[in-house]
């Protein structure tokens, strides 16, 4: 079965995972958080990847794209009945994206970017810390590094999707419900536009 994948990106605290969960519920789809996959692997006893992953996350660096892609693909294979997949927090660079396409081979419908002011993101992370977050990357120093990496690494990726007309920006400064309504409107448009591509093998080949 050919998968339909929609990527969700945004700075730390933009609401990527929250939105992914809401979308999965609304569309009966699969939601995968790249960050959750990495943290779960890092917590596995005896994992050869744990040390590298934990070090990268703690220092706000991007984990090797092939490692992340393998973990995402593994999660997709656990849910063979889910045709539509929302992936949040990945890809973070053009190299990440190309690695995903090469290894997974799914059809990506587009990239949704949750835009939010830096000061709002900083406040949200601070609230997570005060609420008892145990995430290794939820600290002021890591936030600064993660924001810098996010802005630098994603620039070329965003340009690529924008040139193709597949980049969709949504303001996530508003409350969760308002943001979700806006994102769902984008997703509805993406799915409607994709219908001809999945009507038949011939149509799908032409669309690709």
Provide the CATH number for the domain around residue 40: 3.40.50.300
61: in domain? yes
40: in domain? yes
Name the pTM for this structure: 0.83
160: in domain? yes
203: in domain? no
Q: For the segment 21-67, what is each residue's pLDDT rounded down to a tens digit?
A: 999 999 999 999 998 999 899 888 888 888 888 887 777 677 888 89
In which residue ranges of the chain is pLDDT below 70? 60, 129, 132-141, 196-208
3-state helix, strand, coil in the chain (%, to 5): 60, 15, 25
CB 99 within 8 A of CB 20: no
150: in domain? yes
9: in domain? yes
204: in domain? no
How many domains does the chain divide into? Answer: 1
140: in domain? yes
Domain range for 153 is: 4-175
* Cα Dmax for the chain: 54
Integer Cα distance of 131 and 89 in angstroms: 22
CB 8 within 8 A of CB 182: no
């Amino acid at each position: 079965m050919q998968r339909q994948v929609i990527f969700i990106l945004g700075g730390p605290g933009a609401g990527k995972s929250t939105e992914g969960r809401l979308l999965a519920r609304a569309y009966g789809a699969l939601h995968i958080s790249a960050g959750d996959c990495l943290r779960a692997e890092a917590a596995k006893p005896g994992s050869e990847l744990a040390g590298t992953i934990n070090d990268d996350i703690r220092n706000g660096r991007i984990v090797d794209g092939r490692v992340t892609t393998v973990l995402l693909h593994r999660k997709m294979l656990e849910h063979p009945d889910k045709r539509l997949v929302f992936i949040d927090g990945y890809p973070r660079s053009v190299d990440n994206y190309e690695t995903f396409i090469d290894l997974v081979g799914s059809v990506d419908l587009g990239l949704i970017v949750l835009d939010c002011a830096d000061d709002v993101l900083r406040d949200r992370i601070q609230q997570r810390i005060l609420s008892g977050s145990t995430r290794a990357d939820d600290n002021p120093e890591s936030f600064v590094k993660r924001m810098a990496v996010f802005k630098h690494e994603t620039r070329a990726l965003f340009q690529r999707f924008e040139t193709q007309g597949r980049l969709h920006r949504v303001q996530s400064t508003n409350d969760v419900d308002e943001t979700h309504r806006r994102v769902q409107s984008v997703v509805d448009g993406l799915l409607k536009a994709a219908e001809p591509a999945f009507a038949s093998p011939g149509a799908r080949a032409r669309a690709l």
